[in-house]
């Protein structure tokens, strides 16, 4: 293998290895991950996945989740960064913040939520007048789809307008879909951070045109939402019987949330009694 490539192992059904181009972005991802994982305390976690360089093989997620560090731990971290010949740009660093904005999200010790500035622009979004306008709006809405329960069902009338050879006609269903999506975005909840030892619960459901799920976790005696999931069914899948659609929802979202659920016991809840037996 060339020195310009790097082999990585990723979570996938066959556990096969992938060969990625070894450029500066990929090299920095693995270097930072190695440095931080060695230096942060045991109850801290560093996840560094780069969307632009490894998008087809790794989950497009960047998180650095750690508790409040002590003075000694902060000094140890600074020493490690220095010894590793890494440099931090002052204007890009934030210290002693209660919350920070990152990629359209607000990250705080309470959890993760949509950036109010972004959702406020959605609230003022004018009614689409063409297919291109619909695609732009759906693109923004889809970016925050994990914050919207039953997103695929809510957006179905608008998605229909973007189909090939579909005549653009703004109907009452489209109007309702447009306003419900805007309302859902501007009232999106705060997602809790998952913990190592608490139990996960996966609630799934299926309708004629889509499937949805809620991943939650029992923390301190209460259920907290970790993420929502939804998917629009294909034309063939809409012909499945109810039991098959409900089972498809279970399989789809166990796979989607595999990085949370893999290697641990969790509870699946469904309102379809045929799947319980």
| CATH number for the domain that contains residue 157 | 3.30.70
191: in domain: no
pLDDT at 25: 59
66: in domain: yes
Whether 81 and 129 map to the same domain: the answer is no
pLDDT at 177: 93
Q: How far apart are CA 243 and CA 238, in angstroms?
A: 12
Whether 9 and 85 map to the same domain: the answer is yes
Query: Considering 27, 61, 93, which residue would you say is the last residue of a domain?
Result: 93
pLDDT at 49: 42
Alpha carbon separation from 247 to 8, 96, 142, 251, 262 (Å, rounded):
32, 46, 24, 6, 19
Reduced to 3 states (helix: H, G, I; strand: E, B; else coil), residue 139 is helix
108: in domain: no
pLDDT at 56: 37
Please name which of 185, 172, 189 lies closest in space to residue 123, comparing C-alpha atoms: 185
In the block, which residue shows the tokens 């006609």?
Answer: 169
Apex 102 CA angle, 145 and 148, nearest 5: 15
pLDDT at 222: 80
Q: What is the CATH number of the domain that holds 243?
A: 3.10.20.370
Whether 172 and 219 map to the same domain: the answer is no
What element of type H or E holds 18? strand 17-21
Please name which of 206, 161, 153, 207 lies closest in space to residue 181, comparing C-alpha atoms: 153
Whether 21 and 83 map to the same domain: the answer is yes
Query: Considering 93, 126, 146, which residue would you say is the last residue of a domain?
Result: 93
109: in domain: no
Instruction: Please list the pLDDT of the chain residue by residue as tens digits (277 residues).
Output: 455 555 544 545 555 555 555 565 555 555 565 555 554 444 444 444 443 333 333 333 333 434 466 778 777 877 877 877 777 788 877 777 788 888 888 888 888 888 888 888 888 889 999 999 999 999 888 888 888 888 888 888 998 899 888 888 899 999 999 999 988 888 888 888 888 888 899 999 998 888 999 999 988 878 889 989 989 888 899 999 999 999 999 999 999 999 899 888 899 999 888 887 7
Query: Considering 28, 58, 93, which residue would you say is the last residue of a domain?
Result: 93
105: in domain: no
Q: How far apart are CA 71 and CA 77, in angstroms?
A: 10
For residue 214, give its domain range.
Answer: 200-275
Please name which of 138, 183, 144 lies closest in space to residue 156, comparing C-alpha atoms: 138
pLDDT at 105: 86
Whether 121 and 63 map to the same domain: the answer is no
Domain count within the chain = 3
């Amino acid at each position: 293998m060339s020195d310009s490539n790097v082999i990585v192992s990723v979570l996938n059904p066959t556990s096969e290895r992938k060969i990625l181009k070894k450029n500066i972005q990929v090299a920095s991802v693995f270097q930072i991950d190695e440095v931080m994982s060695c230096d942060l305390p045991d109850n801290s976690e560093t996840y560094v996945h780069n969307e632009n360089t490894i998008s087809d093989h790794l989950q497009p997620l960047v998180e650095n989740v750690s508790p409040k560090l002590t003075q000694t731990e902060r000094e140890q971290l600074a020493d490690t960064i220095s010894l590793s010949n890494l440099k931090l740009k002052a204007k890009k660093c934030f210290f002693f913040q209660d919350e920070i904005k990152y990629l359209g999200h607000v990250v705080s010790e309470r959890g993760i939520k949509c950036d109010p500035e972004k959702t406020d622009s959605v609230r003022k979004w004018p009614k689409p007048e063409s297919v291109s306008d619909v695609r732009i709006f759906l693109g923004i809405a889809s970016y925050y789809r994990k914050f919207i329960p039953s997103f695929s069902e809510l957006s179905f009338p608008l998605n229909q307008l973007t189909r090939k050879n579909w005549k653009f006609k703004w109907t009452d269903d489209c109007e309702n879909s447009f306003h419900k999506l805007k309302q859902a975005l501007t009232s999106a909840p705060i997602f809790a951070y998952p913990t190592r030892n608490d139990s996960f619960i996966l609630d799934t459901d299926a309708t004629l045109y889509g499937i949805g799920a809620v991943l939650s976790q029992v923390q301190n005696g209460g259920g907290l939402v970790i993420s929502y999931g939804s998917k629009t069914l294909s034309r063939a899948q809409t012909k499945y019987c109810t039991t098959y659609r409900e089972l498809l929802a279970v399989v789809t979202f166990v796979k989607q949330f595999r990085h949370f659920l893999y290697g641990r016991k969790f509870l699946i809840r469904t309102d379809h009694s045929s799947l319980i037996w």
